[in-house]
Homo-oligomer: A and B are copies of this chain.
Amino acid sequence: MCAELNRKAFENLSYGLYIVTSRNENRLNGQIVNTVIQVTSEPPRVAVIINKKNLTHEYISQRQQFGVSVLEEAAPLTFFGPFGFRSGRDYDKLSKVQFKEGTTGCPLVTQYTLSVLEAKVIERIDVGTHTVFIGDAVSSEVLKEGAPLTYHYYRENLKGKPSRYSPTYIPTK
């Protein structure tokens, strides 16, 4: 680790919080991320960054598609917490929430959700522990008006911690 790196500096970057979903045949999965970003306007393309250890990484890699639910600030930690701190390998995360099937077949969580998007992967970049998936948006819909849940709000008001597999996790040594 370079001595000139202050990890606190990274905490000032701003993010939203999203549920990213995918499917593998009939198995559905989703996880919380703070790493959805629009990369071009014309055509509308989005990127999502996923830890290689996550089941969603496996599903997106296979199916080359993903769904995104943009959560609202009113979403309680009890609702989205399991999407961040439990693995889809031993728990059906979609069983406890409302969702619909998108045009790609990915489940789209609709509860506490402002808008949903779906994307088909056109490129992937290995960045070490994580992969950046870049996708063409193939559907997008606004479900309700409201304030988007941000990572800042999650930390300040819900006293939330980053997942161990998040790009913004700060290791304690």
A142 touches B8 (CB 8 A): yes
Which residue of chain B lies nearest to A1 when distances are taken between CB atoms in the complex?
B43
Decide if A168 is an interface residue (CB 8 Å cutoff). Answer: yes
Establish whether residues A138 and B42, one from each chain, have CB atoms under 8 Å apart when the complex forms: no
* CB atoms of B41 and A170 under 8 A apart: yes
Task: Indicate how many identical chains form the complex.
Answer: 2
Q: Which of B36, B128, B148 contacts A43 (CB 8 A)?
A: B128
Residues on B with C-beta less than 8 A from A101 are none
A128 to B46, CA, bound (A): 12
A129 touches B41 (CB 8 A): yes
B14 near A115: Cβ-Cβ < 8 Å:
no
Contact A142 B40 (CB under 8 A): no
Chain A positions 136-173 with a Cβ under 8 Å from a chain B Cβ: 137-142, 148, 150-152, 166-171
Listed by A's residue number, 26 A-B pairs whose Cβ atoms lie within 8 Å are A2-B139, A5-B44, A5-B140, A7-B140, A9-B117, A12-B115, A12-B142, A13-B16, A13-B36, A13-B70, A13-B148, A14-B14, A14-B16, A14-B150, A39-B132, A42-B171, A45-B127, A45-B167, A47-B47, A47-B132, A123-B125, A125-B134, A127-B134, A132-B134, A148-B152, A150-B150
Residues of A in contact with B (beta carbons under 8 Å apart): 1-2, 4-10, 12-16, 35-47, 49, 70, 103, 114-117, 123, 125, 127-130, 132, 134, 137-142, 148, 150-152, 166-171
